[in-house]
Structure 1
Amino acid sequence: MQIGINGTGLVQGASIEAITQHAQIANDDGFASYWLAEHPTGGLDALMVLMVVGLSVPRIELGTAIVPTFPRHPMVMAGQTHTALNAIGPRLTLGIGLSHAPMLAQLGMPFDKPIRHLREYLSILVPLLNAGRVDFKGKMLSCEAVTFFKPTAVTPVVVAALGPQALKVAGTLADGTTLAWVGPKTVKEHIKPRLSEAAAAAGKPAPRIIATLPVCVTNDEAGIRARIGRNLAMYGELPSYKAMFEREGVERPGQLAIVGNEDQVSTAIDGMREAGVTDFAASEFTTNDDERHRTRALLKQLLV
């Protein structure tokens, strides 16, 4: 299992400089990847930020986890991705997702037929990225185009997929999934079997399973879990995440976070590997210097 860093905790600060510095440290510390999310109403463009990051930070894989699909036509998404790849080289993984109905409602956008939307979106996006052309007419989305960029390498596309139908689409048309708020039991019993079955039926290689959870090495496990519960409570109210919490047997975000002493955190991360996660992107949730140093030190140990 590869270990990466998820920098989404910096998104609300909207500082490209801070994100670049964070990614540079992750690169220097030897992590395999650096991931960034985009909030539909936050105004920070994750693909553009990662392109800026990639211009000054070498080597490390950069990935979006995720960019919402509904606000961008797949031709626009492909154009942004090609532009970023042209600037930083073939080390970008594009993570996309449907987002959530309440968030799209803030944009005045309907959350109509999300599975059909996702299937048609990928049917346009993947050929544009990897062949540079597409001719697709769907019921919700259509595109006839040839890109100015001529692809020279395959660009991995992963999908935020939680429900059975979304996992089937992701396994069939994409290269895997990127997960948030999903624990090891759910990965092992629900995510991996459905995703792998769909990929095998489509003649595709074993899919990538990228997972992100808050991580903190601390002496105050109860306090950190309570703080995560307060600060990130909204995720426990979103229906798709709520269903994953129920599968995992927990009720709140704080219960799912990876928190405790070095042994506890190491064991929990190893549990994600045993469940089938191929890439774990730690979202470091720390409140003081001691927690920051201990958490990063442990994560670096896990790289060996």
Structure 2
Amino acid sequence: MEIGIAVGDVRGAVDAQGLLDQAKQADAAGIGTVWAAQGVGWDSLVALAAVGLHFPGLRLGAGVVPVPQRHPLVLAGQALSVQAVTGNRLTLGVGAGISALTKRMFGHTHDRPARRMREYLEVLLPLLRGESVDHRGETVTASGRVGVPGAEPPDVLLAALGPVMLRVAGELTSGTVTWMTGVRTLTEHIVPTITTVNPRARVVAGLLTCVTDDETGVRARVAEQFALAGQVPEYRAMLDREGAAHPGDVVVVGDESTVVRHLDRIRDAGVTDFFAVPYGSAGEQLRTLALLAG
């Protein structure tokens, strides 16, 4: 199982130097991959381009870019631009976005997300290969091509939690990215569903991770800080599958031996890539990084 580290504002508000400092810590520790999530702060692809230019040994993962607000021609140009400036080290994770945010923030329709993602990918993937598209479909219209010299098509993953979206991920992409999804759900639902379609699918699992002597306190802080995420229908469904009351129940937390056992269970579930989001005080985050590097 490949272990990567999140950088950027998924770990809290951070300026440009802070972003690079996080990447520098990962690079110095021997962590091979950094991941950037798309929230309401840093643009994940811009952040990864900046990191990639400063740290040529790091692999880069976007986990994930919601697509409703990015036309496939636009996203293809952005992703290929990152490839060109970083020497083709990007894994591009995409997703349908959280329904409530997509509607409220951007005014976009969010019905039939799996159908929309299938059609979006049927346009995006040829564009990433440098092919021309002329598509006038049910949910996407696109005509043109994107050419960035030196850029190769990135590996594409699809954020998927439900069975229909997991089948789309298995059929059209290299795998899936999950967030706030516990070991039981990974073992019994995510991995078997996607590998039935694509036995070689990558499964990237993102979770808050904290090496600490105060496991109870950390779980309580996560439960409070991420309470709203625990009410979002998409994540609530995964927490219910897990038998978890709130996001604090699925965080990877404890002392070194406890966290190692948790990581072993994630690996044994069939996860190929673990996307750790260091959580806690500065000291706890450094302690977490040291364990993950080891």
Structure 1 and Structure 2 fold alike (TM over 0.5): yes
Q: Find the counterpart in structure 2 of residue 156 from structure 1.
A: 155
CA distance in 2, matches of 1:85, 1:218: 37
Length-normalised TM-score, structure 1: 0.92
Letter in 2 for 1:147: V
Choose the corresponding residue for 1:210, options 170, 193, 204: 204
Map 1:192-271 onto structure 2 (within 5 A).
192-199=191-198, 206-271=200-265
Written as runs of structure 1 = structure 2, the 5 A alignment for 1:1-304 is 1-10=1-10, 12-39=12-39, 42-104=40-102, 105-149=104-148, 153-199=152-198, 206-289=200-283, 291-301=284-294
Q: 2:228 is paired with a residue of what secondary structure?
A: helix
Q: Describe the shift of the 1:151–1:113 C-alpha distance in structure 2 as closer, same or farther (beyond 3 A).
A: farther
Deviations 1:184-224 (A, max 9, x none): 11111111111112225xxxxx0111111111111111001
State the partner residue of 1:203.
Answer: none
Report the AA paired with residue 34 of structure 1. V
What is the alpha-carbon root mean square deviation over aligned residues?
Answer: 1.6
Mapped to 1, the partners of 2:124 and 2:95 lie a distance apart of 13
Q: 1:2 to 1:129 in 2, by over 3 A?
A: same
In structure 2, the gaps of 5 or more residues are none
Q: CA deviation at 1:287?
A: 1.9
Give the total of aligned pairs.
293
Following TM superposition, by how much is the alpha carbon of 1:83 offset from its aligned partner in structure 2, in angstroms?
Answer: 1.1
Q: Deviations over 1:243-281 (max 9, x none)?
A: 111111111111110111111100001110000110001
Distance verdict in 2 for CA 1:125–1:283, change over 3 Å:
same
Alignment partners' CA distance in 2, 1:11 and 1:127 = 34
Shift of 1:9: 4.3
Asked if structure 2 preserves the Cα contact closer than 8 Å seen for 1:9 and 1:283, the reply is no
Displacement after TM superposition at 1:91 (Å): 0.4
Q: For the residues of structure 1 that align with 2:253 and 2:129, how far apart are their CA atoms?
A: 40
**Contact in 2 for aligned 1:11/1:44 (Cα 8 Å):** no
Cα distance in 2 for residues equivalent to 1:258 and 1:11: 15
Q: Which blocks of at least 5 consecutive residues in structure 1 are unaligned?
A: 201-205
